[in-house]
A and B are shown apart, each in its own frame.
Chain A
Amino acid sequence: MKEAWLFAAQRLSALVMAPLVLLHLGVILYAVRGGLSADEILARTEGSLFWGAVYGLFVLAAAVHAPIGLRAVLREWCRWRGAGLDIAMTLFGLVLLVLGLRAMAAVL
């Protein structure tokens, strides 16, 4: 049952992120021209409801997606299983969430 939920969360977060990653790649290619600067980045993001919503959703989906994927790799290639792995991956997800929201707060 738990595995079925993790599978659903993994695929749904992927579905959410697909258009966001495409947008992100577009912004990267656009922003990198002429070099990056803090002013340029912050001019785009500061006070923007749109970028706040985009990055908020992005951080949330990534914090769900990455630990589930990493968990599968560790189970299959490192033979790490059981509660210890699940706790470690939950913590990894929380770290991503906190760092991601912190980064968001810094640029908004």
Chain B
Amino acid sequence: MAMLEVEIWRGSGADGAWQRYAVPHEANQTVLDVVTHVQRYLDPSLAYRFACRVGMCGSRAMTVNGRPRWTCRADCPQAARKGRLRIGPLRNLPVIRDLAVDMAPFFEKWRDAEARFVPSADPPDEAVRPDEPERMAADAGIECINCAVCYAACDSVAWNPDYPGPAVLNRLWTLVNDRRDGDRDGHLDAAGAGCHLCRSHQECADACPTGLNPTAAIAGLKRETLRRTLGRLAPGRGR
């Protein structure tokens, strides 16, 4: 039976080391299957996180051969390089143990930006058509599963402790484009505090498992927040 040469990061906090395991290669094997094999048959002390295993819950993202990926949908032949797999915890987040990271900073930024739907006190009378430009812009970013793969892929997150990250800004852009939302200005102000720190590396779009393009969403936010900033210059416009 063909074997995969697997290296997995073991340790807690900042300390740790790569440890080697030999895992039998099977058809249709995902990276998560490899990790599960190690935990069940080779080393039960391995810590990792997963839930649904089918790409809905966003709980089991890891760094696979240097790139952040969702491991449950990452096929081994695709992810492995010459039969080798190196699996580590996500970047830009504190490691709890082994492959499990503390997601709190990721969600705290989400909370602090208040990136959530605010029902409008005065909702539009006419129906929101699925083909209107705003709705299409919102729909383009709606399938986020909060897996933090983009957050781990992003250099701006690594370089700026106060940068909210691609996922939060992508969510804000869907809200800004949602006509039923009652706090467009609030969302733009929240975005304006950090969206310009995006350097358009497009690593987030490249890595996003559901194929979203946060860079394009953030470009939209830069455009709208700039319009708002300049609006403050003109008397009687902006707030």
A residues adjacent to B (C-beta < 8 A): 1, 3-8, 11, 75-77
Contacts and interface: CB of A to CB of B under 8 A. Distances in A.
Q: Is the interface of A mostly helix, strand, loop or mixed?
A: helix
Contacts of A11: 226
Contacts of B230: 8
Given A4-B225, A5-B229, A76 B159 contact: yes
B229 A4 contact: yes
Given A3-B193, A4-B226, 17 more contacts: A1-B192, A3-B192, A3-B194, A3-B196, A3-B197, A4-B192, A4-B196, A4-B225, A4-B229, A6-B196, A7-B196, A7-B222, A8-B226, A8-B230, A11-B226, A76-B159, A76-B160
A75 B199 CA distance: 14
16 contacts: A3-B192, A3-B193, A3-B194, A3-B197, A4-B196, A4-B225, A5-B229, A7-B196, A7-B222, A7-B229, A8-B229, A8-B230, A11-B226, A75-B159, A75-B160, A76-B159
A77 B159 contact: yes
B226 A7 contact: yes
A8 B233 CA distance: 11
Chain B residues touching A, majority SS = helix
Interface residues of B, number: 13
Contacts of A5: 229
Contacts of B194: 3
A26 B126 CA distance: 55
A1 B160 CA distance: 17
Nearest 6 pairs between A and B by C-beta?
A: A7-B196, A76-B159, A4-B192, A8-B229, A4-B229, A8-B226
A5 B160 CA distance: 18
Contacts of A4: 192-193, 196, 225-226, 229
Interface in B192-239: 192-194, 196-197, 222, 225-226, 229-230
A17 B192 CA distance: 24
A75 B160 CA distance: 8
Contacts of A77: 159
